């Protein structure tokens, strides 16, 4: 048989010739190789299933803590950390007790936050297509 584009194709049987003339898709006919390829039939014994690769976990440094510091903290015993926490709590309590006895404690001079002035002249300028 000669296709419309001029390419000659050899059809082995009258059945195949008839179905080609009816423009039937080979992938929809269960007995064709195209259907078997599409539905993964008969390839299980020839190829083994590919194994998926799992991503390895990588530790990275965080802002304010280097990787060495993070590893040291992870290696510490939980008892050591609880002792540090208790010591810090005692220190805070003693500081509060000292404040209560001495009246008002002195605050550090100057604010820790600076006031940032709002941008000037932003009232009339709006983005987009507003008028």
Tens digits of per-residue pLDDT, 4-33?
A: 899 998 989 999 999 999 999 999 999 999
| H helix or E strand, kind and range, residue 98 | helix 78-102
User: Is the entire prediction scored with pTM above 0.85?
Assistant: no
Rounded Cα distance, 4 and 18, in Å: 16
- Report the C-alpha gap between 62 and 76 in whole angstroms: 19
- Per-residue confidence band for 107, with pLDDT thresholds at 50, 70 and 90: low
Rounded (5°) CA angle 11-12-16: 60
């Amino acid at each position: 048989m000669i296709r419309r584009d001029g390419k000659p194709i050899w059809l082995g049987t009258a059945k195949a010739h008839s179905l080609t003339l009816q423009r039937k898709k080979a992938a929809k006919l269960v007995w064709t190789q195209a259907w078997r390829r599409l539905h993964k039939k008969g390839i299980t014994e020839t190829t083994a299933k590919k194994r998926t690769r799992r991503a390895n976990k990588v530790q990275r440094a965080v802002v304010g803590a280097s990787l060495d510091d993070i590893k040291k903290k992870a290696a510490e015993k939980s008892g050591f950390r609880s002792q540090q926490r208790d010591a810090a709590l005692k220190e805070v309590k003693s500081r509060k007790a000292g404040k209560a006895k001495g009246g008002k404690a002195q605050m550090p001079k100057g604010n820790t936050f600076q006031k940032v002035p709002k941008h000037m002249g932003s009232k009339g300028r709006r983005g987009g297509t507003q008028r």
